[in-house]
Amino acid sequence: MQWRADPVVLNSLPHRVELLKTQLADSTMPAIAAILSNIAESEFRSDGMLANSFYELEAEYFNTIREVQGKKGVWSIGPFFRYALSDCRGSEERERERERERERERERGTPCKGHGRLD
């Protein structure tokens, strides 16, 4: 099992990156091979890719990806994109909670806010 401990150097990147063979996807497994094939096909058809990073921090990698992909774009959405999504999900959840509270008030027959009387 020594071969699994041998490092693999990923070429064509701006910096030296070494991984162990155990850290790489096992493309000999049919399920993994199918996934990798789907990814490659999808990348070929796409107009580019989204990168969860900032161009200012990793410009060398963005430029390398652009060179490898040809004229396809690489768009930086930055890691804050996830926070924006979680905030949207949070506001949706708060709105659902407010709607549940309004429904409970209607079921109890409590006075409507601002009217001071029962509906």
What does the domain layout of the chain look like in residue ranges? 1-45
State residue 108's pLDDT score: 75
Measured between alpha carbons, how far is residue 118 from residues 91, 100, 101, 103, 105 in Å?
29, 19, 16, 14, 11
The pTM score is 0.50
Mean pLDDT by 10 residues, the chain (119 residues): 74 89 83 90 88 86 86 79 63 80 77 52
pLDDT of residue 119: 47
Please give the pLDDT value at position 87: 60
Residue 7 contacts by C-beta under 8 Å, 6 or more apart in sequence?
Answer: 18, 19, 20
CB atoms within 10 A of CB 54: 14
